[in-house]
């Protein structure tokens, strides 16, 4: 998923909060459009757990928006 920071929030600070979510597999800052920086993150959980990572990440202070890029099974 892509995690967009609120205006005035440093992506580096938000990155640590996203990494702290239980189930975060990878998270890094990437270039987006017009020089903006966003966080690209992936999460792993047991099948059937019913976790909604989109809602969990959206609830983090400093997150403006969350865009799910892909959902799949390993």
Count other C-beta atoms under 10 Å from residue 74's C-beta.
5
DSSP annotation of 31 reads: E
φ/ψ of residue 12, rounded to 5: -65, -40
Closest CA to 68 of 59, 60, 58: 58
Integer Cα distance of 48 and 2 in angstroms: 23
* Confidence (pLDDT) at 61: 96
* Confidence (pLDDT) at 46: 83
Integer Cα distance of 39 and 47 in angstroms: 24
* Confidence (pLDDT) at 74: 72
Integer Cα distance of 19 and 31 in angstroms: 18
* Confidence (pLDDT) at 41: 97
* Confidence (pLDDT) at 59: 97
Tell me the pLDDT of the chain (74 aa) as tens digits: 999 999 999 999 999 999 999 999 999 999 999 989 999 999 998 887 778 999 999 999 999 999 999 888 77
């Amino acid at each position: 998923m892509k995690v967009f920071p609120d205006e005035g929030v440093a992506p580096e600070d938000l990155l640590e909060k996203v990494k702290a979510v239980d189930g975060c597999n990878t998270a890094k800052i990437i270039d987006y459009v017009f020089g903006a920086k966003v966080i690209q993150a992936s999460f792993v959980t047991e099948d059937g757990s019913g976790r909604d990572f989109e809602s969990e990440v959206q609830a983090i202070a400093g997150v403006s928006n969350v865009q799910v890029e892909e959902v799949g099974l390993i």
